[in-house]
Structure 1
């Protein structure tokens, strides 16, 4: 009788442990997929629009950080709206593209002046046309902790630049980010194709997300990224089942 009781209790313990173990691995939603955030900076809307069909055909989703919106023509605003309608994120890159640290510390403006001129003024114009950016990128990557804190009153995340050889700074979790360090992939970055592929591989291996920074696509500018390099990135993403995220998506 005692032996039967012991066996029954053992079976009960195993059943409880099994269901407890199952519950332990339950998570809300689903496991985030590794991926990439491809970002483009400035006001090159005509150039980006030219390559919109290519991005559509390859399922690419990008984030466009906009500056100098106060100088956009009606046609450029129309193109920006179309880019957004194709699933891309329209983000913010200041009103006039000033170096924010120089604006405050070399020109004797206050931080409040900076926020009014370079954030609120530009946002107001974009909001009036139905664009509501929720993420931000620093011009020239110039930032500090004070600016970061001020900008988080307006945005979910801010993006600086990774000017180091520590590429891991640009590989981040797929959610809950507030400060990003984008890795330049244009000509000015002087990074090799293997560098770019290796950091993508790192994102895949770590179930994480790499943040890339570009400006133009396939132009003579030193801030342009070649079509060859972009295609290499797109092919790696497809072959390895990575996901395209926007800056906003990895900031939630």
Structure 2
């Protein structure tokens, strides 16, 4: 009888242990809400700051990958501070916007020279002015595994471009990313609104995150996303309870 009691007690402990372990796993493995990372590249602060009221009204928290900070005027630096104060991420897009593969393999610079010129120099200037980028985007999307690994010394993640018709490359987990492939949504991308919405729908269905890339907002430039497209994105996000993430948030 005593053995049966002991055996039953041990079985109960095992069950409790398994249950506790499951609850612990459930907590640690819990996925964040599905969402979108809306990113903008380059140095178009004069354009972006004009659309802050629109972004604010939609609850957007975007990621702005900045290049050519060494050419910013005091007024542009102040506008970038305003963008940051609205909760948007200020990220990094190199010092001079060189094609990094060309810089190394065609112009015969070393990777150390590349990092000093295109990463460290620009970061120093931004840091002095109160900007501390933790994520990176490649100019022209030109990258390779060696660059990715080297840049991880400076940043939590790097973002390349998805130049393919495989939209799934631009749908990622909501955490622990190191290499992102953003899908272009500018006019130059030639993608339809239906393509863009299908990526968002897939993110919703799979509890993942869609990563998009634009440059300017609502200008004649081909590297500009139309206001109509942005409004369609915002409408879908709101109707489907998606969350706006920054690149940094999905890189943790």
State the partner residue of 2:23.
25
Count of residues in correspondence between the two structures: 248
| Offset of residue 248 of structure 1 | 0.3
- Counterparts of 1:196 and 1:15, CA distance in 2: 51
Map 1:52-131 to 2 at 5 A: 52-131=52-131
Q: Deviations over 1:229-249 (max 9, x none)?
A: 001011111110000000000
| Offset of residue 163 of structure 1 | 0.3
Q: CA RMSD in A?
A: 2.0
TM-score between the two structures when normalised by the length of structure 1: 0.92
- Counterparts of 1:65 and 1:187, CA distance in 2: 19
| Offset of residue 29 of structure 1 | 8.7
- Which consecutive residues of structure 2, in runs of 5 or more, have no partner in the other structure? none
State the partner residue of 1:231.
231
Q: Deviations over 1:178-207 (max 9, x none)?
A: 000000000111100000000000001111
Q: Do residues 243 (structure 1) and 243 (structure 2) align?
A: yes
Choose 15-24 or 110-119, whichever is displaced more: 15-24
- Counterparts of 1:237 and 1:96, CA distance in 2: 34
TM-score between the two structures when normalised by the length of structure 2: 0.92
State the partner residue of 2:163.
163
Give the direction of change, closer, same or farther, for the CA distance of 1:52–1:29 in structure 2 (3 Å limit). farther
| Offset of residue 14 of structure 1 | 7.7
Name the SS of the counterpart of 1:131 in structure 2: coil
Choose 172-181 or 12-21, whichever is displaced more: 12-21
| Offset of residue 109 of structure 1 | 1.2
- Counterparts of 2:155 and 2:184, CA distance in 1: 22
Q: Deviations over 1:72-117 (max 9, x none)?
A: 0101100100111111000000000010011111111111111111
| Offset of residue 25 of structure 1 | 3.4
Name the SS of the counterpart of 1:94 in structure 2: coil
Q: Deviations over 1:207-251 (max 9, x none)?
A: 100100000000000100000000101111111000000000000
Q: Deviations over 1:44-75 (max 9, x none)?
A: 00100000011111111100000000010101
- Counterparts of 1:95 and 1:19, CA distance in 2: 54
